[in-house]
Amino acid sequence: MDENIVTAIGTPNMALIKYWGKREEKLILPMNSSISMTFDETFNTKTSVLFTDRVPEDSFYINGVRQDLSDKDIMERFAIIDIMRRMAGTTSKAVVVSENSFPTAAGLASSASGIAAMVFAANSALKLGLGTKELSIIARQGSGSSCRSLSGGFVKWEMGSKDDGSDSCIRQIAGPGHWSDIIDIVAIVSKSKKKISSRAGMKQTVANSILYKARPAYAERACAEMEEAILKKDFERLGMLMMKDSNNLHAVMLDTYPPILYLNDVSKQIISSVSELNEVENKIVAAYTFDAGPNANIFTLEKYRSKVEELLSNIEGIESTRISKVGNGPRIIDEDASLIDPSTFKIKSG
Ligand code: DP6
């Protein structure tokens, strides 16, 4: 087959209404729809993909480290390469090299940007010509939340109802230019790897949290309201909905046995300080949300930015902050930027 190295850049997404729980494990079908904002390239993953018959086996590198493809976690995510190979009717081996510009596995959705970049690059390398919806269905099977990173702007992952997952795919609610003054201040509280993965954590929550039973129906309604808030650029409504959803998520996590605790004292201080600020201002000027980790995402508008930055600068324990605006989604970049050496088919050194 045609052997060309394709490199793509993907970015994470931050869920405003979260996905937490599967109704089907293998295909990764969620219990409820979710909505996110795709990040700009402040945080990004660059991934180069090559399909070739000239190497004996698949290889996969993340941040310079060769991954063990017999490891269950890695295998489950790499399975999307098999799906795409099958679609292309090839048995060529894959070389995939991925580099993150931010800490992995610390609640910063590194797998989302990595998988989005990988699927986007593989689509081009295998000349599959698939569109966003089809690519989101493939990405979903590697890691659920990653499917939302296949599009820029504000994105809804529709839970779908079909058993084969063909309607569990993404839809863009609004493009990247729709809301240019909304920003996400990412406050890094800890760079360490999370103790329990989202995959394992959500499974336990679905299995034994009493409170979780109310979550899917509520989240579905929250998605409808969130979509309206985004379309109307109603920040107060968006803020209230996202904070309530984050609170609900971490409540059902705590209600799981053994309890799942991702928030630490600094995260809780951020929750209190943001709430106090909104009280003092008598309106919502900032809104927090937390994924499966202690790092905070604080959404605000440009006009309130200095106020929120000042607030955060007074909280002890925040290691650093970075700002993301609404991003454009994945893109293919120049051949020169490739992470694969075209003569050895291995990761480029240096
Ligand atoms: C808290 O997408 O990582 O970030 O589908 O098992 O790979 P798997 O889980 P994953 O879970 C993400 C959970 C979340 C919420 C969200 O992004 O919607």
39-96 tens-digit pLDDT: 999 989 999 999 999 999 999 999 899 999 999 888 888 999 999 999 999 999 999 9
Q: Is 1 inside a domain boundary?
A: no
Q: 104 pLDDT exceeds 70? A: no
Distance CA 190, CA 319 (A): 7
Distance CA 47, CA 62 (A): 9
Task: Assign 207 a pLDDT band (cuts: 50, 70, 90).
Answer: very high
**Is-contact 278 322, C-beta < 8 A?**
no
Residues 6+ apart with CB under 8 A from 179: 154, 230, 233, 326
**Is-contact 205 253, C-beta < 8 A?**
yes
**Is-contact 189 266, C-beta < 8 A?**
yes
* CATH number of the domain that residue 171 is part of: 3.30.230.10
Q: Is 168 inside a domain boundary?
A: yes
Q: Is 8 exposed, middle or buried (0-12, 13-18, 19+ CB in 10 A)?
A: buried
Residues 6+ apart with CB under 8 A from 203: 22, 25
Q: Is 134 inside a domain boundary?
A: yes
By most ligand atoms within 8 Å of CB, the mutation choice from 19, 118, 262, 288 for ligand 1 is 19
At residue 106, the pLDDT reads 46
By most ligand atoms within 8 Å of CB, the mutation choice from 39, 73, 140, 198 for ligand 1 is 198
Q: Is 51 inside a domain boundary?
A: yes
Looking from the CA of residue 34, the nearest atom of ligand 1 is 18
35 phi, psi to nearest 5 deg:
-135, 140
Distance CA 153, CA 132 (A): 13
Looking from the CA of residue 292, the nearest atom of ligand 1 is 1
At residue 306, the pLDDT reads 97
Q: Say what percent of the chain tops pLDDT 70.
A: 97
Q: Is 246 inside a domain boundary?
A: yes
Q: How far is CA 305 from the centre of its chain?
A: 24
Tens-digit pLDDT profile for residues 132-169: 999 999 999 999 999 999 999 999 999 999 999 999 99
Q: Is 91 exposed, middle or buried (0-12, 13-18, 19+ CB in 10 A)?
A: exposed
Residue 274 lies in domain: 6-347
Q: Where are the beta strands (DSSP E) in 210-329?
A: 286-289, 296-301, 320-324
Q: Domain count of the chain? A: 1
Q: Give the angle 37-29-163 at the CA atoms, nearest 5°.
A: 135
| Tokens, residue 197 | 């993965």
Q: Considering the entire predicted model, what is its pTM?
A: 0.96
> Cβ(294) to ligand 1 under 6 A?
no
Q: Is 11 inside a domain boundary?
A: yes
